Amino acid sequence: MTKQNGFCNYSARKSSGVLNEWLTQLILGQFMKRRSLERTTIVAVEGFASGLPLMAITRLLQGWLAASGIPISLIGLLGLIELPYTLKVLWAPIIDFWTIPWPDRRRGWICLLQILIAGSLISFTLLDPSTKGKDLIFIGIAALVTAVLSASLDIVVDAYRTDLLPDQERGIGAASATLGYRFAMLTIGGGGFFIAGTYGWQKAFLFSSILMLCLTPITIVGPKLRALKKPLLNFKEAVIGPGKEFLHRTERKKAFQLLLLVLLYRWPDGLLSLMATPFLIESGFKPEIIGAIQGGWGIAATMIGTAFGGITFSKIGLNKALWIYGLIGALSNLAYWWLAQFGGGNEELLIAVTVENFCGGMMVSAFIALLMSLCNPSFSATQYALFSSIYALSRSLLSAPGGFIAESIGWSNFFALSIITAIPSFLLMAILTPWTEHLPRGAFKSKREPI
C-alpha cells in the first residue's frame, strides 16, 4: 500500500511538472507572438510614414502644378527633389552619432522628423501656383526641404527596422515595411487626389500633413530598442566606423562580393520596370488600361507577393529565400517575353502583370532582409543607407541602356536577356549564400534574442 501511494505521488508530481512546463511554454509562446506582432505592426506603420511624404511631393505636387497650368518643362525640374534620396548616405552618420534618447535612439529621430515633415507639408496650403508666379519658388523650396526631411526619415526608419527585428522576423518585417509603403502610395495617390478634386489641392496637402502627424503617437508607444553595448565615442567613428567595421567583418574580399550582390540581385527587375510601360504603349495598349492594370492591380499583386514572400521566409531562412525568390523573380520576366513573342489582349496583360508583380514582391522581401542582415546596429543608419544607394545604381546606371538594347534586338529578345542578367547574382550567391547555411557569409551575426 505504501509503495502504491509512493508511486501515485511520484506520478502526480511528474504530471504536475509536465503541466507546469507546458503552461510555461504556452504563456511564453503567446508572449513572444504578441511581441512579434508589435514589431511587425510598428514596422508597417513606419513604412507608411516613409512613403507618405515622397508621394506628396512627387505625384500630388505634379498633379497640382499640371492642373494649375504650369509648363511641363518646369514640372520636370521636380525630378531634382529626389536627389536627397540618393545622397542621404552623406548625412546618415549624423543620425548614428547624435541620438535623441527618448523614446529611444531611433524613435526619437523618427518622432522629430515626422513632426517636421507634417509642418513642411502644411506649408503648401499657404501657396498657390496658379495665382502668384513667385509662389513657384517657395513651392520648390518647400518641396526640397520636405525631400531632405523625408530622406532623413527613410534613413532612421530603415535603421530602426534593422535594429529591432531578430533574424527570423526579417522576412515578414521586410514585407510589413513594403506593405506600409505601398499603402501610403495608394492612400495619397487615391485619397489625396480625391480630396484635391473635391475640396482643392491645398486640402489634399493638409490631409497629408494631418495623416503624418497622427503617426507620431504610434511611434512613441512602439517597441523599444535595446541600448547599445558600445555607443559611438565621437563623430569620426560614426563616419569611418561603418566602412571599417564592414571591411573587417567581411575580410575585404567578401565586402566587394557582397556589394556586387546588392547591386546585381534585382537587376532583371530594374530592366523590366524601366521598359515595361514603353513596351505596352508600343504594343497598342491604351493608357487607361495600362494605368488600371499595371498601376492599380499591379500594386496590389506586388503587395500580395511581398506578404506571401515574408510569411514563407520565416520557414525557409534568408539564404534559401534569396535563391528561390531570385529565381522566381527572374523567370517571371518570361510573362512579358510571352506577351512580346505571341501578343495578346487585356487578359494576357493582366496575367503578365500579375505574375511579374507577385514574383517581384517576393523578391523584394528577401532583398530587404539581405540589406538588414549586413548591418551592424552601431552603424545601421549609415550602412543601410550605403547599401540602398548602391542598389539604386542598378535601377539607374545599369538599367539606363535598356532602351537602346530593346531597339537593337527587339522586345522579346530584350525580355529574354533580362532573365539572363540574373546569372551574375547567382554566381555570387554560390559563394556568399550557400543553400545549407542560414545567413550570408559576412552578415552581422547578432547574438540577441527577440524581446
The domain that contains 63 carries what CATH number?
1.20.1250.20
Q: What is the pLDDT of residue 419?
A: 94
Q: How many domains does the chain have?
A: 2
Assess whether pLDDT exceeds 50 at residue 388.
yes
Question: Which of 187, 204, 227 delimits the end of a domain?
Answer: 227
Distance from C-alpha of 172 to C-alpha of 383, rounded to nearest angstrom:
21
Q: Clarify whether residues 195 and 244 are in a common domain.
A: no
Look at residue 117 and tell me whether its pLDDT is greater than 60.
Answer: yes
Give residue 132's pLDDT. 60
Q: What is the pTM of this model?
A: 0.85
Q: Would you state the pLDDT for residue 233?
A: 82
Place of cell 557569409: 441
Cα pseudo-dihedral 171, 150, 114, 50, rounded to 10 = -30
Per residue in 411-436, pLDDT (tens digit) is: 999 999 999 999 999 999 999 999 99
Alpha carbon distance 110, 154 (integer Å): 9
Q: Are residues 210 and 61 in the same domain?
A: yes
pLDDT above 70: residue 30: no
pLDDT tens per residue, range 265-282: 999 988 888 888 888 888
Is 300 part of a structural domain of the chain? yes
- Give the domain range for residue 39: 35-227
Asked whether residue 190 falls in the same domain as residue 308, the answer is: no
DSSP H helices, 291-433, are 298-316, 318-331, 334-342, 346-373, 380-396, 402-409, 411-420, 423-432
**Mean pLDDT, residues 320-348 taken together:** 92
Per-residue pLDDT averaged across 173-202, rounded?
88
131 and 207 part of one domain: yes
Q: Are 244 and 213 in a shared domain?
A: no
**Cell numbers at residue 145, please?**
526641404
Pick the more confident residue, 8 or 202: 202
Q: Per the domain annotation, does 17 fall within a domain?
A: no
At 128-138, the pLDDT tens digits run 887 666 788 89
CA 449 → CA 366, 370, 376, 388, 440, distances in Å?
Answer: 21, 19, 15, 26, 19
Q: How far is CA 115 from the centre of its chain?
A: 22
In the prediction, which pLDDT does 383 show? 95
pLDDT over threshold 80, residue 25: no
Cβ-in-10-Å burial (0-12, 13-18, 19+) of 139 comes to buried
Amino acid sitting at position 403: G
For range 225-249, the mean pLDDT = 89
Structure-model confidence comparison of residues 2 and 378, the more confident one: 378
Please, which residues have CB within 8 angstroms of residue 212's CB and are 6 or more apart in sequence?
A: 49, 52, 53, 114, 117, 118, 121
Classify residue 30: in a domain, yes or no. Answer: no
Give the model confidence (pLDDT) of 335-384 as tens digits: 999 999 888 888 889 999 999 999 999 999 999 999 999 999 999 999 99
**pLDDT of 7:** 46
Indicate if 195 and 266 belong to the same structural domain: no
Q: Is 26 inside any structural domain? A: no
Residue 8, domain member (yes or no): no
Do the beta carbons of residue 327 and residue 412 sit within 8 Å?
A: no
pLDDT of residue 68: 83
Average pLDDT over residues 159-165: 93
| 119 and 142 share one domain | yes
Asked if 195 and 316 sit in the same domain, the reply is no
pLDDT at 131: 66
Q: Is residue 119 part of a domain?
A: yes
Average pLDDT, the chain: 86
Residue 287: the pLDDT is 76
Percent of the chain whose predicted confidence (pLDDT) is above 70: 91
Q: In terms of domains, do 246 and 385 share one?
A: yes
Indicate whether 309 and 249 sit together in one domain. Answer: yes
437 in a domain, yes or no? Answer: no
Residue 438 lies in a domain: no
Whether 347 and 203 map to the same domain: the answer is: no
Q: Are residues 144 and 188 in the same domain?
A: yes
pLDDT in tens, 435-447: 999 999 999 986 5
Domain end among 206, 227, 248? 227
